[in-house]
Structure 1
Amino acid sequence: MEHYDLIVIGSGPAGRRAAIQAAKFGRSVLVVERGRRVGGVSVHTGTIPSKTLRETVLNLTGWRERGFYGRSYRVKQDISADDLMARLHKTLDHEVEVLEHQFARNKVDTIRGEARFVDTHVIEVLGEAGDVQAFKAARYVITVGTRPFRPDYVPFDGEFVVDSDEILELKELPRSIAVVGAGVIGVEYASIFSALDVHVTLVEPRNSMLDFLDKELVADFTHQLRDRGIALRFGAKVEKIEKHGPADCEITLEGGRCVRSNVILFAAGRMGATPSLNLDACGLEVDHRGRLRVDPVTFQTSVPHIYAAGDVIGFPSLASTSMEQGRIAACQALGEKAYDPPEYFPYGIYAVPEISTVGMTEEEIKERGIPYECGVARFRETSRGHIMGLETGMLKMIFSLKTRRLLGCHIVGEGATELVHIGQAVLNLRGTLEYFVENTFNYPTLAEAYKIAALDAWNRMPPMET
């Protein structure tokens, strides 16, 4: 039986960072991946594929140029599923090659197969051919990620009724699609298909969506979706989903209302990919969604030498945060110096348009009783916005009246996930309104919106005490 200092189960963002960090400490590391290639859900069915699909759609449809040339403008008139997949496969191959090279360069061993615990220190790996190998490790990091939630009442067929993994395998573009679930994944795919001029209906049992975001931001985003013709069906539970025939699906909502479409995407949550791990053998338990509980600072589970990171531990379930969680977990597991996770990190939603946020929302600031003022800038107020033909998009900043520090930064619009890092830096460095007012921003840029929003807030704030 081979013995390792650390075994990492799963090779997604958290797993790869944990493994490489441990290897840089000179420890022996094994990564177990049950997929056909390394990379996990992030590379093969989640983060990279959906973002590549989004970029392909925006390029081929000419979406970014329609502000100038009209809604009928197209770069390619007849876009097929094959057009979308060509760029996707090229991107995924590159991602896998980079990851394989990183593992090889850092002398990280990898094995393909399904891992299951035999006891607290030993796992068995079941290979594709049915062969079984046993491995022992002093420490473990579990980074198995998640899989789509697939309730029994949904007649999944992989073609017309699909989950968020199967949506990438559509053989042709539908004329209409109904998306069940207005979480991050559902909203991203709904807006991407809308950009392809597919008729979209978004179904959500709650009365709102993306509740963790600033409400003003969500209101602006919701207006943009409705303005593009996306039908929003909020506050109605799904009672039944039926497939009457090829490209003929129906959703029956509470109250009797029906939604018909060619394809149904069911994106109402994900489950921790933990059932096959045989966690009972190592003394771990999961919640109702198959997720592991960990210490929020060290990522240690209830079993001292087993750590977990990434989507399998729940919110925020971002590739970016998962990477940092994996690194910290490896450091903690091996007794090396580790930094605490940052209090504020950017949250990116790659819808059309993008949404990104960092810090506190206006609602959270009100709950804490902090006196504040907001500053808002519209992208159309910037010269760069005019050059790009932007008609929508906004940046909102919230400042403390007492300290003038930045408390939150919220952006919806083109380039939001890139722009947010300016706000992130100022927020984590405890910067104030004066940074934005007194510093020079490149002109013309969308980043100039920071100065416009800061001046908007400054105009309504009392002078700084000297």
Structure 2
Amino acid sequence: MSNHYDLIIIGSGPAGRAAAIQAGKLKRRVLVVDRKDRLGGVSVHTGTIPSKTLRETVLNLSGWRERSFYGRSYRVKDKIDAGDLKARLHMTLDHEVDVIEHQFNRNHVEDLNGVASFTGPNEIEVAVDGGEVQRLTADKFLICTGTKTFRPDWVPFNGKTVLDSDEFLEMGEIPRSLIVVGAGVIGVEYASMFATLDVRVTLIEPRESFLDFIDRFTIDEFTHEIRENGLDLRLGSPIAKVEDMGEHVEVSLENGRHVRAEMLLFAAGRMGATARLNLDAVGIETDHRGRISVDRKTYQTSVPHIYAAGDVIGHPSLASTSLQQGRVAACHALDTPTLPESPWFPYGIYSVPEISTCGMSEEEVQERGIPYEIGVGRFRETSRGHIMGLEHGFVKMLVSLKTRRLLGVQIVGEGATELIHIAQAVLNLKGTVDYFVENTFNYPTLAEAYRIAGLDAFNRMPIPEEYKVKGKAKGKSKG
């Protein structure tokens, strides 16, 4: 067959996968090139799916969800080792790869394993196993190469006791103590997971705050809970030196303190995986972290027939948004009309406990000068929360005083990443707090916390004239 395609996609993560399937459904000739020996990209093999699978395994084997009933010493499995964590992981990853391969076959998407680089505006070369180089051409290209771990020279990585987030999943044994450097999403997720296994975890963040895109009230509550779970959080502590001492790893902080542990996970940032693409050949520039700038409506780069989507374009760097970006980019590249992306999308942080948000934070509302009210519904106020033994968790709701519209929702606790979609729907449909007051929720459910939060805000807001009962004398009632 010809080596010319309608669309060549470099990378098979969420953005590349969604774009390829969309192009296949449009009956175009499409090729996916990925340097990995298995489809799915970082998301499937070292990122999103592995970390979330690991979290579920940790919660199940540790008996974490049952400890409020049976005590903190309760465990489903007395001794949990690295093999226990990996068993479920490999089963899940195999299934994910099978699903992708089936979707590609069903939609006539071709794929090729190798390292791709541009040689001209409409041509790439792919170095495959054995040293062979294939030259391929296309009308349009989509770059979905994602990110790679940031590995500074001053960190003595050794693949055993000093690891990056990709290597961390292949640990030989569970350490008794762990240092996590970087309180971003990845660092917070892994640190809170291993604290759940009763590992002594120290989370170090050089800045005075962390997860700054999340509402401060939400982060304050989350911080209290993870510290209560045994996690030692060190904020505002720049690192002076990291030393591999053989039997332990030692971190010296600029404030004079030292932290020791059996293992260190460095999770302070990621870089766009663009170094090997030879973007100079097509005139595309990247920023200092290797990321590509695009038009956020079409995902076109500075070269109109070359698109980019997913983590390689930076914020928000979520698998969920990457799926949407890939689909939209493919449709635009192939001159096919499609629905635009909705303005409000949820963030999900799979820590212990989960955090999920949609819409504006309280700080954003204040910056915009919007008069607002807050409603909070705590899981312990719901019957479902009692049944599940939940001692923490809440839904926080921000409501406009002028329009009564929902402005944002933050959730911390069990099922937060599932519950947030109620808020997403109301936000995108421009709904008001009245929705949560007027409607009935299944009982008992954690979703009732929305109603509690809605009533909390509703009862402190001025009552609109149209809601007031007419025809009654003030202070009097019939009967």
TM-score scaled by structure 1?
0.99
Q: Secondary structure at the match of 1:435?
A: helix
> Secondary structure, in 3 states, of the residue corresponding to 1:385?
helix
Find the residue that maps to 2:437 and give its secondary structure: helix
Cα shift at 1:259: 0.8
Residue in 1 that maps onto 2:418:
418
Structure 2 match to 1:437: 437
Aligned pairs, number: 465
Equivalent in the alignment of 2:33: 32
SS of residue in 2 equivalent to 1:20: helix
Which residue is equivalent to 2:331?
A: 331
- In the TM superposition, residue 368 of structure 1 has moved relative to its aligned partner by 0.5
Bigger Cα displacement from structure 2, 56-65 vs 333-342: 333-342
Task: Please report how far the alpha carbon of residue 255 of structure 1 lies from its aligned counterpart in structure 2 after TM superposition.
Answer: 2.2
Counterpart of 2:126? 125
Amino acid in structure 2 at the alignment position of 1:343: P
Query: 2:64 matched to 1:63?
Result: yes
CA distance in 1, matches of 2:340, 2:315: 17
* Cα offsets for 1:42-88 (capped at 9, x unmatched): 00000000000000000000000001111000000000100010000
Shift of 1:342: 1.7
d(CA) in 1 for partners of 2:332 and 2:253? Answer: 48
Cα deviation for residue 2 of structure 1 reads 0.4
Whole-angstrom CA distance in 2 between matches of 1:233 and 1:402? 41
1:379 corresponds in structure 2 to 379
**Segment of structure 1 superposing worse, 331-340 or 43-52:** 331-340
1:9: how far off? Answer: 0.2
- How far residue 335 of structure 1 moved from its aligned partner, in angstroms, is 1.2
CA distance in 1, matches of 2:205, 2:37: 34
- Determine whether 1:244 maps to 2:239: no
Which letter does structure 2 place at the counterpart of 1:290? G
C-alpha offsets along residues 381-425 of structure 1, whole Å, 9 cap, x if unaligned? 000000000000010011111111100011000000000000100
The residue identity in structure 2 corresponding to 1:202 is L
Structure 1 distance, partners of 2:129, 2:264, is: 32
Which residues in structure 2 correspond to 1:67-78 (within 5 Å)? Answer: 67-78=68-79
> 1:358 maps to which residue?
358
Tell me what 2:162 maps to: 161
Alignment of 1:206-221 (within 5 A): 206-221=207-222
- Structure 1 residue 339: Cα displacement: 2.7
Matched to 1:54, the amino acid is R
Output the amino acid matched with 1:332. Answer: H
CA distance in 2, matches of 1:464, 1:90: 55
Q: SS of the residue aligned with 2:188?
A: helix
CA distance in 1, matches of 2:172, 2:283: 44
TM superposition outliers: structure 1 runs of 4+ over 4 Å: none
Q: What is the alpha-carbon root mean square deviation over aligned residues?
A: 0.7
For 1:53-132, what aligned pairs fall within 5 Å after superposition? Answer: 53-132=54-133
Q: Which residue of 2 aligns with 1:280?
A: 280
CA distance in 1, matches of 2:240, 2:289: 21
Distance 1:74 1:23 in 2: 47
Code of the aligned partner of 1:305 = H
Which structure has the bigger radius of gyration? Answer: 2
Q: Are positions 1:198 and 2:216 aligned together?
A: no
Q: Given the alignment of the two structures, is residue 139 of structure 1 paired with residue 136 of structure 2, yes or no?
A: no
1:311 alignment partner in structure 2: 311
Aligned to 2:409: 409
SS in 1 for 2:245: strand
Q: Deviations over 1:410-458 (max 9, x none)?
A: 1000000000000100110011111100100000000000000000001
Q: Distance in 1 between matches of 2:362 and 2:387?
A: 31
SS in 2 for 1:409: strand
- Matched residue SS, 1:280: helix
1-side partners of 2:465 and 2:401: how far apart? 11
By how many angstroms is 1:159 displaced?
0.7
Deviation at 1:226, TM superposition (A): 1.0
Uncovered stretches (5+) of structure 2, i.e. residues with no partner:
467-479
Per mean C-alpha deviation after superposition, the further-off stretch among 97-106 and 248-257 is 248-257
